[in-house]
Structure 1
């Protein structure tokens, strides 16, 4: 799962420190910044104004924050008492959800790091995760990518309408619903040759298992492609949108054997270029893909 950092607004109350901090983060790096509290961006701007920065630098900072909102800031919905940022972030309910906290001055508390001398190791090796192969663990790993957009694309040659796959998808949507970020459209691309059953049978199975989400306004577009469409991506098991993506080495399946659900699989944050290429191929240029049949729910 992406590592979530909190940054004290006072710690980035100038262009140099703000730029240094933001460059460390991004979906592709496995590192995200909590919008803690939800008015965090405003608090950063207030800290900059309190320092007496000029209009040009303030404008520059505001534009940088707006840009960062799309690719490295996340809402986490944790309690904030409104008195002191440092006291609020140190509450157990908040700190337990964070990988680290970057602050202006030294604080002798675990997870707190002074921004001026934070070790580079703090930001290293956050792109790769090892997670258990049960539905909940796979879904939890993807929750910040799922929340990044109202569209989600799932590419897995072996994805089917059978319960072992739908269980993972259901867990992902349940996590989205719990945080109030339910997507409005799910695109699924699979290999028809891996499950060559008749379209009517497969559609009925999808309808029976996904109807509860359809009733809540989620649309599903399911494309069963010709097998050669994924020859160049023989290990392709991707979850992505136009902002971020993950590669799941073992796909979106909860093993039927209970003991295998305790086995771990690798999940990797995809770099931005790959996300862009996949989005262009499967969404923007979807008409060029050889699709055997299509199911719309």
Structure 2
């Protein structure tokens, strides 16, 4: 009788801290709104079908079927789908995790998994199926499949990244940031944000600036400007309507703030990007 035994005692002794928060499946439709946004946790996207672009504040990356995108916490990003080949992707949110990439200094990275679809996609589909049916112990099963997915991804990419704990950002700052992300169109002030976070407004401003390298009010303005840019490029709303929709008290204040951040007036920005779209369509 032949007997071979392999010891696993020293193969993997790291205690996992990361936790799968959610897994979701999304597909491009007419109601798709592409706006830059952030999360306090890491995200992974796997493109199942279609093509488009993954965008950050300073970069735009083409993505297609079997692209894997890894995004660290607090990175502004969005996805833009092609109309000819609509995006279908699976997204995972992961708590207590930050990726350290060895090849560059970006806080996100894109990989081509075309040759690894058969070993990666079934793991994601199994997790989706578990969440959908919610049978006994489905959360634990999803967590285990997620760890397999994470380790297999690390193996496939040749250990091009390591796993680390997220930056130590105070919970109050994360709350205020996420509140601004979802309520930027409301009438927000430093006083109201401080009241929501139960902090002194000066202490909140100090902590927020230390965590995100910008003050809460500057972040609010940046968020409003970013969303107004998308509306200027992709809608026919008037300047006054966009000002109201993005939380500015008047169209004049909106125009002044927009020119300060974007370097041009809203009308010129819209004209520039509309002309650019026309040229692309004609070519």
**TM-score when scaled to structure 1?**
0.26
| Structure with larger RCO (C-alpha < 8 A, sep 6+) | 1
**TM-score when scaled to structure 2?**
0.27
